[in-house]
Structure 1
Amino acid sequence: MSVPIAAVLLCVASAAGYAGGAVLQERLAQRPIGVLLRMPLWWLAIALNCAGAALHVVALRFGPLSLVQPFGVLTLVMAVPVAAVIARRAVTRVEGRGIVLTVAGLIGILLVAGTTNGIAALSSAQLLGLLMAAAVVLTTLGGWGAVPGASGLWLAAAAGVSFGVSSALTQTVTVHLTGDGLSALLNPTVAVAGLAIAVLASAGTLFTQRSYRGGLGAPLAVSTLANPVAAATIGMVLLGERITGGGVGALIAVVSAGAAAVGVSLLTRAQARPRMPASSTAQHCPS
């Protein structure tokens, strides 16, 4: 397998942007949207997220969805040391093990991710079916998360699904623009996909912001895992993407995914542990 180096580098840079945005959003999570709109720090977080999204779009031109999307877990890997620096503390051993396992899992996925038909695009029928399914899933998850006292993890899952579906649509738009140029914008499939991307990205951002009200670690982990799961499902079912290497490749993929999941779990538990009072005070200002 020829590894698309450009896609990997773009994915890493994208994850760095998302990580910086996530750390800033978590620090401001207790404030209502009306207040956030007047805060430059929140707009900086949005700018970092937009930079991450732009790099992600370019990455989808160089690598299949099943390869690009798993690199989203690097957002959590990068957010941990950034949050530690802001809190003026060292990265713990648990966090270190979590980072190592997550990166090792990504390397395994990188070795076996592939596609049978190049970088594919959704057909019109597939696009409409996907949007209807996404609407049902997001309405359900968002409704569960909006129940008073409900866990923010439902909203985090909704955010991950929003961004995963958006990435599949972005790949479709990118393929059409690359092949047909700006004339592709007149294609109804591209137009609908572009509008859906804007809606899904906005919904994902709002879901994410609300999910961080209980802290960064667990919601970020859930959204980070839900994102590639949704995208990989779309890639396998609709876009003809496959695991290379046959049975051995499938085994490597399963083991790698397990290692990444354990790593994310360790990072989540570490983030959930209480810190020193001084650090807590610095990170969680009252609204």
Structure 2
Amino acid sequence: MSGAGGTAGTVVAVLLSLVSAAGYALAAVAQSRLASTSAGGRGALRRLLGRPQWWSAVGLNAAGALAHVAALHYGPLTLVQPLGALTLVAALPIGAYGAHRRVSRVEWRGALWTLAGLVGLVAVTGPVAPDEALDLRETLIVTSATLLLIALLASRGRGGAQTRGGGQGRERGGERGRGLGHATASGVASAAGSALTQTLTVALARDLPGGPTAWWQTALLALLIAAFAAGGLLLSQAAYRGGLAAPLAVVNLSNPAAAAVIGVALLGETFRAGPWGWAVAAVASLVAARGVVLLTTGLGTEATGDGTADGSVPTPREAAPSLDEAARLVVPDTLAGQEPLPEPVR
């Protein structure tokens, strides 16, 4: 496009990208709040599917995806994809507002570092050409590798749960590790689903590479796409038990990273600008990793709301009330004329 039409299309693409980022951010906040109030164990999935808040999050995710697709109709991928990274920036204040706290400086710095790295990574990642697709053998390779990686990350999360006996600090660290592992798995599942969606689109338009498309191949692709989409959503839900910001950052990073690996390994793609593109991608990955580390550091203040305005973490004396203070927090001193709670025996 050019002229007025090109300008109008760009404006529409930007607005739709912002709507998409807001939809994804609201969905992430809703999933995070749902994760903080949902019990695990047997029957957790059934209870989750029975909660209206879960379906609200699903609807917000779907709205974000539709707005993203519509934005790509009006604007180029090089514009729309980086704007999608604003999901993290939007989710921080929304989540903090719902938790009645302020976003700490550590979280803002982490978000900006992650955003810069993600934009740099997306900028040098070449988009998949419309006629590029995986053949049946490559589809099975991607599916098997993705399932294996998800299983490894999930088993790592279960192993982290065994560290709870070492104290509260170790328990918190195990929860963070499980959250980031599930977040990585969610991003990988979404990337695999995107690659298979591209293949299905090509299959519906023409034959798959390597021969005519059989009905069972199309049905298999549709089944795998649905499974990866549902799996990615449930994995992200599990990831948010460890907080919001860091898991959301990892989901947004692992998705394009895994998609780039699939594109380079199986579709003959490469980073833009040749060797310089690889160098930019490496630096962008390090910048984004720095941001995730900062966001992980800020998880303590994010989960409790006890952090100070500059992102510092309270001392143990400030963070944990004494026994009598804790009792008064649970039961007030006077309840319908009752006597105050006795002082605990020291």
The aligned runs of 1:53-72 (5 Å cut-off) are 53-55=65-67
Q: Distance in 1 between matches of 2:217 and 2:97?
A: 45
Displacement of 1:254: 2.2
Indicate how the Cα distance of structure 1 residues 171 and 16 shifts in structure 2: closer, same or farther if over 3 A, else same.
Answer: farther
Residue 26 of structure 2 aligns with which residue? 20
Distance 1:158 1:263 in 2: 19
- The aligned counterpart of 1:269 is 297
Match of 2:90 in 1: 78
SS at 1:114 equivalent = coil
What residue is the counterpart of 1:284 in the other structure? none
**Alpha-carbon distance in structure 1 between the residues aligned to 2:275 and 2:298:** 35
Identify if the C-alpha distance between structure 1 residues 165 and 14 changes in structure 2 by more than 3 Å, giving closer, same or farther. Answer: farther
What amino acid maps onto 2:152 in structure 1?
A: T
Q: Deviations over 1:222-261 (max 9, x none)?
A: 3333322222111111122211112223222222232233
Deviation of residue 60 (structure 1)? Answer: 7.8
8 A Cα contact 2:125 2:270, kept in partner: yes
Q: 1:113 to 1:157 in 2, by over 3 A?
A: closer
Alpha carbons of 1:267 and 1:145: their partners in 2 closer, same or farther (altered >3 Å)?
A: closer
- 2:201 is paired with a residue whose SS is helix
SS in 1 for 2:126: strand
1:187-266 equivalent positions in 2, closer than 5 A? 187-266=215-294
Once structures 1 and 2 are overlaid, which stretch shifts more, 6-15 or 149-158? 6-15
State yes or no: 1:167 paired with 2:194.
yes
Q: Return the structure number with greater helix share.
A: 1
1:15-57 per-residue CA deviation (whole Å, 9 max, x = no partner) reads 4322211111111114233333333222111111222344456
2:280 & 2:206 partners in 1: Cα distance?
34
In 1: Cα distance, 2:249 partner to 2:278 partner: 24
Give the aligned length: 271
> Compared with structure 1, are the counterparts of its residues 113 and 21 closer, same or farther at alpha carbon in structure 2 (3 Å cutoff)?
same
| Distance in 2, Cα, partners of 1:243 & 1:121 | 18
Moved more, 121-130 or 166-175: 166-175
Query: Counterpart amino acid of 1:270?
Result: G
1:130 to 142, 155, 168: 142
Cα distance 1:9–1:213, how it changes in 2: closer, same or farther (>3 A)? same
| 199 and 118 in structure 1: CA distance in 2 versus 1, 3 angstrom threshold | closer
Could you tell me which runs of 5 or more consecutive residues in structure 1 were left unpaired when the two chains were aligned. 281-287
Matching residue of 2:152: 140
- Which structure exhibits the higher relative contact order, with contacts defined as CA atoms closer than 8 Å and separated by 6 or more residues? 1
Decide whether aligned partners of structure 1 residues 160 and 78 sit closer, same or farther in structure 2, where only a CA change above 3 A counts.
same
Report SS of the residue matched to 1:18: helix
Root mean square deviation of aligned Cα: 3.6
Q: State the TM-score, normalizing by the size of structure 1.
A: 0.76
Alignment correspondent of 1:50: 62
CA distance, structure 2, for counterparts of residue 58 and residue 126 of structure 1: 29
Kept after mapping to 1: 8 A contact 2:154/2:181:
yes
Corresponding letter in the other structure for 1:169: L
**2:149 is the counterpart of 1:121:** no
Q: CA deviation at 1:266?
A: 2.3
AA partner of residue 53 (structure 2): L
Question: What is the TM-score with the length of structure 2 in the denominator?
Answer: 0.65
- In structure 2, list runs of 5 or more residues that go unmatched: 1-8, 39-43, 163-173, 308-318, 320-346
3-state secondary structure, aligned to 2:50? coil
Q: Higher Cα Rg: structure 1 or 2?
A: 2
Percent sequence identity over aligned pairs: 44
Match of 2:333 in 1: none
The 1-side partners of 2:71 and 2:196 are apart by 14
